A and B are shown apart, each in its own frame.
Chain A
Amino acid sequence: DTGVSQNPRHKITKRGQNVTFRCDPISEHNRLYWYRQTLGQGPEFLTYFQNEAQLEKSRLLSDRFSAERPKGSFSTLEIQRTEQGDSAMYLCASSSLASGGRETQYFGPGTRLLVL
């Protein structure tokens, strides 16, 4: 399978615990995105990497959230001191620029987080 993969697919944790999610993008894609989606809403942008550089972070991304992409391949998203409001689906997407400047983002299956 050469698509975007995410692990774990589901995570249940207690409030106050730290969690870490992993995303493996499509191998030739240099751009990687993290989104959060809650029920009945579209995905909300969290952060974006081009290769290993984190180029932008949404103000939705509080200081409890940190993302890395150390070698420009896989990425991790860590949430420290989880809160019940962090419960959501966390989606990763990857892309590369096609000729003509067009970009299509391909999504992983997501990690569904439930904070008790």
Chain B
Amino acid sequence: RKEVEQDPGPFNVPEGATVAFNCTYSNSASQSFFWYRQDCRKEPKLLMSVYSSGNEDGRFTAQLNRASQYISLLIRDSKLSDSATYLCVVRSNYQLIWGAGTKLIIKP
């Protein structure tokens, strides 16, 4: 079993739709959680950190459930520019453990 698992993709959704990504992690001692976005052939860029109480940044909402070891990312009113791969990342001590990513394709 992988340490961080994400929904296999790709997700093909129409512009304006709401899309949800799910992620589970295996190490209950994990300390921090993040969503990164990676465009094709580019480096990953931090989208948002995930806090225990859940957090929102514009159209993006992240949730963490420590008991279930589950993280989610919701994108509302999706834009064409949201097309990218979304990577779930879990920090254990100094290491970032990455999921394989879920590719999102927004169609006009």
Contacts and interface: CB of A to CB of B under 8 A. Distances in A.
Interface in B60-108: 87, 89, 91, 94-101
B42 interface: yes
Interface residues of B, number: 21
Interface stretch (A12-20, A68-76, A77-85, A100-108): A100-108
Contacts, number: 45
B26 to A, nearest CB: 15
6 contacts: A40-B100, A41-B101, A45-B97, A91-B44, A106-B46, A109-B42
Interface of A: 31, 33, 40-45, 48, 55-56, 91, 102-110, 112
Interface of B: 4, 32, 34, 41-46, 49, 87, 89, 91, 94-101
